[in-house]
Amino acid sequence: MAAKTVAREEKRPRSFYALALFFALFVVFLYGPVVTILTLSFQGPSGGLTFPMNGFSFYWFERLWGGGGTVDIGTAFRRSFALGLTVMVLTVVISVSAGLAFRKKFFGSTALFYVAIASLIVPSIVVSLGIALEFRIVDDVLRPALASIGLVSPRGNSLGLFTSGLGAHLSWTLPFGLLIMFAVFNRLDKSYEEAARDLGASNWQSFRYVILPMIAPFLIGIALFGFTLSWDEIARSSQTMGSTNTLPLELAALTTTVTTPEIYALGTSVTAVSFTVIFGTLAAFFLLQRRRRRRAMTED
């Protein structure tokens, strides 16, 4: 391997430079627009939706968060954050559990796999409508029965953030979680578990002390997917949140009504949260890796 690398090091083919240029342009294409609105969200009070910048200020952020703006952002923000964290935890736990199940043989494993893939691929508007209809039917059928024995109030509906909303988000994040678990377990040598077995570890012990430490870095990846997919999710949320609105839903509604940089300020705020979470988790990942490597070295 090393010899090959050295041999290749000698000259770069001309195509390398063409492709490198293409890659650079692609990165500009990916980041350019987002950088534009990040910049424009700091417009001065008299600035508009496009360049030039009329000064530099936090005016639009103050307007957005001061409550003087068009929507109640604070509430939607807290709501989305709480939902995102819940989805994150559930996605990790359920995906790992299912991942372990797929390491063994069980009846219906193929069906479950295809259902997960289907949940990823079926258009979100269809799933969203379906969940809304399901909850309406359940309300029509079950609520009178439950109300008669005094469990719930006879009126109202069950659609909400932590009922249908949570379910809709899980139907979107779990396929990603499961696919990552597949990728992880396909590359995980089974002899480690068998060694643990041979040394007398119970099922739980071999999971807790052998498998879990090995897959931990990838669980961070699943957590990251869980949170950010939920935090930004909009198509499946559209019909399933009941009377509440998540942050992306507010944002999408604003695109048709707001004509000031306030919407860019909101966009910047949402992106800031995403990036904080991503880089925070990545930092945790690298710290974990380094600590583990150091521990491995001292034990040697």
Site for other proteins in 115-154 (CB under 8 A): 115-119, 121-127, 129-134, 136-137
Measured from the CB atom, the residue of 44 and 123 that comes closer to other proteins is 123
CA 71 – CA 74 distance, rounded (Å): 9
Rounded to a whole number of angstroms, the minimum distance from the CB of residue 172 to other proteins is: 9
The helix (H) or strand (E) run that includes residue 247 is helix 247-257
Can you read off the two tokens belonging to residue 69? 């703006």
Can you read off the two tokens belonging to residue 92? 């990790």
CA 294 – CA 238 distance, rounded (Å): 47
Rounded to a whole number of angstroms, the minimum distance from the CB of residue 241 to other proteins is: 13
Measured from the CB atom, the residue of 170 and 298 that comes closer to other proteins is 170
Q: Please tell me whether residue 228 binds other proteins under the rule CB under 8 A.
A: yes
Residues 99-118 that bind other proteins (CB under 8 A): 100-102, 104-106, 108-109, 112-113, 115-118
The Cα-based distances of 44 to 52, 64, 265 in angstroms read: 10, 14, 12
Measured from the CB atom, the residue of 148 and 191 that comes closer to other proteins is 191
Q: Please tell me whether residue 13 binds other proteins under the rule CB under 8 A.
A: yes
CA 28 – CA 114 distance, rounded (Å): 37
The Cα-based distances of 262 to 47, 78, 231, 241, 255 in angstroms read: 11, 19, 20, 24, 11
| Burial class (CB within 10 angstroms; exposed 0-12, middle 13-18, buried 19+) of 104 | exposed
Phi, psi of 3 (to 5 degrees): -60, -40
CA 120 – CA 257 distance, rounded (Å): 31
Q: Please tell me whether residue 49 binds other proteins under the rule CB under 8 A.
A: yes
Measured from the CB atom, the residue of 59 and 132 that comes closer to other proteins is 132
Q: Please tell me whether residue 271 binds other proteins under the rule CB under 8 A.
A: yes
Position among 65, 70, 85, 94 found at the interface with other proteins (CB under 8 A): 94
Q: Please tell me whether residue 222 binds other proteins under the rule CB under 8 A.
A: no
Q: Please tell me whether residue 248 binds other proteins under the rule CB under 8 A.
A: yes
Position among 190, 200, 243, 297 found at the interface with other proteins (CB under 8 A): 190
Q: Please tell me whether residue 241 binds other proteins under the rule CB under 8 A.
A: no
Point out which span in 29-37, 58-66, 208-216, 284-292 binds other proteins (CB under 8 A).
Answer: 29-37
Measured from the CB atom, the residue of 33 and 156 that comes closer to other proteins is 33
Q: Please tell me whether residue 50 binds other proteins under the rule CB under 8 A.
A: yes
Q: How many CB atoms lie within 10 A of CB 108?
A: 8
Can you read off the two tokens belonging to residue 177? 């979680």
Rounded to a whole number of angstroms, the minimum distance from the CB of residue 137 to other proteins is: 6
Position among 54, 75, 148, 203 found at the interface with other proteins (CB under 8 A): 203
Q: Which of 212, 182, 188, 225 is nearest to 292 (CA)?
A: 212
Residues 54-93 that bind other proteins (CB under 8 A): 93
